[in-house]
Chains A and B, each alone.
Chain A
Amino acid sequence: MDFGPYLFVASLEGAITAAVLALTAVGLSIVFGIMRVVNVAHGEFYMLGAVLAWWITSMIAGHPALGFWVAIVAAPLLVGALAVLCDRFILNKVNYDPERTIVATIGLLYVIQQTTLMTFGPEARPVQAPFNERIALPWFEYGESGFQMIWPWGLSTTTYKLFVIVAAIIVLLVLWWVMTRTRIGLIMRATQLDQEMAQAHGIAVNKVYALVFGLGAALAALGAVLVVPIQQAYYLMGSDPLLLSFIVVIIGGLGSVLGTVVAAVLIGMSDGIISVFFTPTLAKILATLLVAFVLVFKPNGLFGKSRE
């Protein structure tokens, strides 16, 4: 394949990464933005979404698409419910103290990850996509008779991959609508601005926090369900999304859904393209160092205004 079409495929793959990353990172972002909690276990909620999707699809006989549609609804709900329990019985009990919640969510990370290892096993398991037609993509080239459309071999995508991108966009739009246009969104934003004030106005802050933590986890799980027909479910699959979400959230500005989405598209696309040029390990080293240096040299500008 020529370089041009190759880059085109890479950016399409990048768009899928970006779509899933946007969902996952927005989940992390609202949790930090509203609750001021850094959820280190976020990647495990993502992993759990994928594993549950595998479990649900393998439980339901009949057409493979049926299992998938059940999973896409049920897995995020189950993960969200689990997150609500974690909020009630752990985070709430340490009063959302920033350092203690990090330590607690590290504990949670290992509990979820290792329990999955013990029950689900160390293998990677596939989930079948509900539909998966190959679509050949055209490429334009300057030939003897001016511009012409060609169909290079290997330049293709699938209907499912396009569906992932569209689904992510729809979910994000719905989320945006909920956050800005509904009462529940208003309550969330009020809590974000001033927790005590919100309490004084009769908002049950504890309930809002439980809801937000559940929503954040559910978004990660949803992203994972979408990606699992492409990637397979695996008990260690949570670490990369966690790292990337951190990067996105730190660069995009915390609590800002729009900033997070923009950063996710940027990072997701460049992740696809960078991996064309670098080995994945080197790319990850650069990414981790990027997060570290942004925090070191732009602590307030990019990490929100958590400290005076």
Chain B
Amino acid sequence: MSQLTESAAGFQKPLLSQGSRSILLHVGIVILLFLLYFALPVYHSGNLARILVLAVFAMGYNVLFGYTGLLSLGHALFFASGMYGFGLAIQFIDVVPIVAIIIGLLSAVVVSVVVGILALRTTGVAFMIVTLMFAQAGYLTVLLFGEYTRGDEGFNIHRSDRVLFGFDLSQATNRYFCALILFAICFFLTAWLVHSRFGKTLVAIRENEERARMLGYDIQRHKLIAVIISGALSGAAGVAYALLFGYAGASFAAVQYSILPLLYVLLGGAGTTIGPLIGTVFMFYLIDLSSDLASAYLSSEFASAYMLIAGIVLILLTLFAPQGFAGLLRSKCKWLP
């Protein structure tokens, strides 16, 4: 009897406030990030700008992995497409920044369409390997055209090319708020997406693909669109990284930049809108602190071995907390998006 009344109540009230609670949470986080800039010392607000851009990358990854259930090992390709689309356009065709940004985004979209069409012919482990291989081919292509990309060394983007609507983005305050605006747009966009009909269908595909197909959903089309959205967000992060920090290099196309978003999302909680941010913040500072400690007390080799931390966290997560932080939180408060 008590169960009955409980579910009858659950039928009316929380449904209404679920949406508003979720909006409140998302707006609250953005306001908090806004205020943090003034509260934090310069060093940390500089880090936070980087974290916000990487969190956008992680949110893009989350659309595919967390919500659609497709584990890609090749998202560095989308990030690098944005980064190099933007960077090379500004370096070699001499366009204004806004045009270069559009070129960067378009190249990420085009690459994700091609990779999506091909890789989605496979599933499971084969999908992981195919995306890994495509990204590896992309990384090697950056090296192959070293004459333009300057390979591993990379190239700097001139300060005069980093001015958007009159704002000089090499200046710390402008840079932070540009990163925050991008983050907020993508954050609200993914929050809206996962509550939409389309997002709920992605979750259905993740949970039981065959059942979703037999409900009449076009699985391949949904997956392809998910790859494109995911690729576009990752590409936007790549563009932003080059624009805000003035550098493009082959290491951003290398395999560890495919692993990092996976790590951020796993750590923060796959299939939650706030997970990617949590994971990125946590991982960033974990690596930052440990390399600080290492260079202070040990040697420079220890400091450069930051991927060791990534490896350990990855193993611990698979073993003990496959749901991540937000997943653990959500098992406490069900309304979390």
Contacts and interface: CB of A to CB of B under 8 A. Distances in A.
Interface of A: 38, 90, 93-94, 98-100, 102-104, 106-111, 113-115, 117-118, 121-122, 243, 246, 250, 279, 281-282, 284-285, 288-289, 291-293, 295-297, 299, 303, 306-307
Contacts of B322: 100
Contacts of B133: 288-289, 291-292, 295
Q: Which of B134, B136, B302 has the most CB of A within 10 A?
A: B136
Interface stretch (B82-90, B99-107, B309-317): B309-317
A107 to B, nearest CB: 3
| Interface of B, helix, strand, loop or mixed by DSSP | helix
B20 interface: no
Given A98-B125, A110-B259, 14 more contacts: A38-B125, A93-B319, A94-B318, A99-B124, A103-B317, A104-B314, A104-B315, A106-B73, A110-B307, A110-B310, A250-B129, A292-B119, A293-B118, A306-B125
A122 B315 contact: no
B304 interface: yes
Contact of A122 (B143, B301, B306, B308): B301
B238 to A, nearest CB: 20
B49 interface: no
B108 interface: no
B314 A98 contact: no
B118 A296 contact: yes
A285 B311 contact: no
Q: Which of A106, A109, A246, A297 has the most CB of B within 10 A?
A: A106
A117 B317 CA distance: 23
Contacts of A115: 305, 308
| Interface of A, helix, strand, loop or mixed by DSSP | helix
Contact of A296 (B130, B266, B317): B130
Given A102-B128, A103-B266, A296-B118, A307 B123 contact: yes
A103 B122 contact: no
Contacts of A303: 126
Interface of B: 71, 73, 118-119, 121-126, 128-130, 133-134, 136-137, 140-141, 143-144, 256, 259, 262, 266, 301-302, 304-308, 310-315, 317-319, 322
A83 to B, nearest CB: 14
A99 B125 contact: yes
A118 B309 CA distance: 12
B301 A118 contact: yes
Given A99-B124, A285-B140, A291-B129, A106 B314 contact: yes
11 contacts: A106-B259, A108-B311, A110-B256, A117-B304, A118-B302, A121-B301, A281-B144, A285-B140, A295-B129, A296-B130, A307-B126
A103 B124 CA distance: 13
Contacts of B301: 117-118, 121-122
Contact of A90 (B121, B134, B319): B319
A104 B123 contact: no
Nearest to B118: A296
Contacts of B144: 279, 281-282, 285
B312 A281 contact: no
A285 B141 contact: yes
Nearest to B135: A288
Nearest to B298: A118
A107 B266 CA distance: 12
Contact of A243 (B122, B134, B136, B308): B136
Q: Which of A103, A109, A121, A246 has the most CB of B within 10 A?
A: A103
A177 B264 CA distance: 46
B262 A296 contact: no
Contacts of B118: 292-293, 296
Given A117-B301, A118-B301, A295-B126, A103 B143 contact: no
A76 to B, nearest CB: 23
Contacts of A285: 137, 140-141, 144
A90 B141 CA distance: 35
Given A103-B314, A110-B308, A291-B133, A297 B140 contact: no
Contact of B315 (A111, A282, A288): A111
